[in-house]
Structures are given as structure tokens and as C-alpha cells.
Amino acid sequence: MDLVEILPERLHMLRFPIGQAYLWRDADDSLTLVDAGHTTSARAIEEAIRSLGRTPDRLDRIVLTHCHRDHVGAADELAGRWGADVLAHRLDAPVIRGERPVPEPVLLDWEIPLYEHGLTVPEAPPTRVDREVEDGDVLPFGDGAVVVHSPGHTPGSIGIHLPRHGVLFTGDCVAGVGQVMLGVFNVDREQAGASFRRLAALAPSVACFGHGDPLTENTASVLRTATTTPPTLP
């Protein structure tokens, strides 16, 4: 796993072989994890937290952008060990708790081999959700983190917008692998496209994707252009 600083003292990316998570530190030293990697990621995440000067007894919350295994996997272990609250949208919460199956995507032909590769990530165990969030909810970090319901990738996918810091976590609605584009493996591609446009309209200065390097320069312009530009297929 790589630990990459995005904003000094505030924001770091934890990059795994498949997917990534983000650590946000507030001025009062409280810590929020956005997504939690796959099920064997807990130790690497804990090491990252300690490398930032944190003691092992405080992780305040884990916000899950959606229910897929490469974003949820280590959340239950980390929450149990650190006492963190787990937050997710109400439509994906039953999947995260193991009460409903993971929704199947409608795959384009070129997505099929990528999807099969992603299935090599271990399945996520059932994970408790302490708070089910809705569109427009304001969460207690980042000086007011706003939940942006972004369905299409999954029914309960969310973005997290920190308007006072110009930061947007897109989950898998948007990808930045080689190019900024609509994320893959969507249950409803048209709905996902509408969510992409909604996220882009927030005009952040920093965009943090579920897959791919964050955008930190000309971010609003790049996102806006990407909503109307067909991706270059692999």
C-alpha cells in the first residue's frame, strides 16, 4: 500500500493494488476514513494512521461511498478495533450488513475482463452500519461534509463534498485511471452519468476518486469536460 499526501496535514490517499481509501484529519485531530479497502487492508490502514502521528485508540468514523468489496472490506475490523462509527447510504446499508446481495452491474463488453479481475479481491464480511445517511446530510468532519447521493454505480452510492475545503470524494461514480471518466461496472449507466454531472457541477478544487490519482489542478474544468467526452477504451 502507498500513502500519498494530497493536502498537507489534512488529506492522504491510501492506494491499494485495487482501489484506494482516504484519510481526512480535522483541526481538532479527529480522523475520518473514506472507504476502507478490501478485507485484508486493516493492518496497512492502521500503520498509515500511526505513521501520521496518531495513537491506535482513535479513528472517529468510516464513511463508505458504496457497498463494493474493495471499499467495504476492512471497515468492520477497523470499526470494532478503534470504536469508529460506520456511515453509508440507506440504500446500500442492507448490502453492507449482509442482508441483501450486492447488486449486479450491467457490463459493457470491454468492462467484462476488468470486472472479472476485480473479483479477485476477497469478499467483504457483513459490516455494521451505525448511521444510514441521505442526500444533503451534513457530517461532522471537514467543517461540514455534505452527502451527495450519486446513484448509478450502485443504488446507494454517495459522494462526499467538503465545500469549505473544495474537496470532493466521488467514490466510483468517477474514475481517474489514465483519464477522468465515468466509473465502470454500473447498475444503471444513464443514472450514473447524471450523478457524474451533478458531482462535476460542484466545481471542486480537489477530486478524490475510488480508482485513479486525485485531481488537484484545473479540477473543475477537467471534470466538466469529462462529463461530455467519451472515454478512450482500453
Q: What is the pLDDT of residues 167-200, one digit of tens each?
A: 999 999 999 988 999 999 999 999 999 999 999 9
**pLDDT at position 230:** 77
Q: Answer whether residue 127 is part of any domain.
A: yes
Q: Answer whether residue 137 is part of any domain.
A: yes
31-34 and 61-63 beta bridge pairing: parallel
Q: Which three cell numbers stand for residue 162?
A: 467538503
Q: Answer whether residue 233 is part of any domain.
A: no
Q: Answer whether residue 232 is part of any domain.
A: no
Question: Which residues have CB under 8 Å from 192's CB, separation 6+?
Answer: 150, 151, 152, 153, 173, 182, 183, 186
8: number of Cβ within 10 Å:
7
Overall domain count for the chain: 1
Q: Which three cell numbers stand for residue 184?
A: 465502470
Q: Answer whether residue 143 is part of any domain.
A: yes
Are 22 and 14 within 8 A, CB to CB?
yes
Q: Answer whether residue 83 is part of any domain.
A: yes
**pLDDT at position 58:** 80
Are 89 and 144 within 8 A, CB to CB?
no
CATH code for position 59: 3.60.15.10
Find the mean pLDDT for residues 77-91: 96
Give me the domain span that covers residue 148: 2-226
Q: Answer whether residue 43 is part of any domain.
A: yes
d(CA 175, CA 45): 22
Find the mean pLDDT for residues 152-176: 98
Taking the complete model, does pTM exceed 0.85, yes or no? yes
Q: Answer whether residue 234 is part of any domain.
A: no
d(CA 62, CA 201): 26
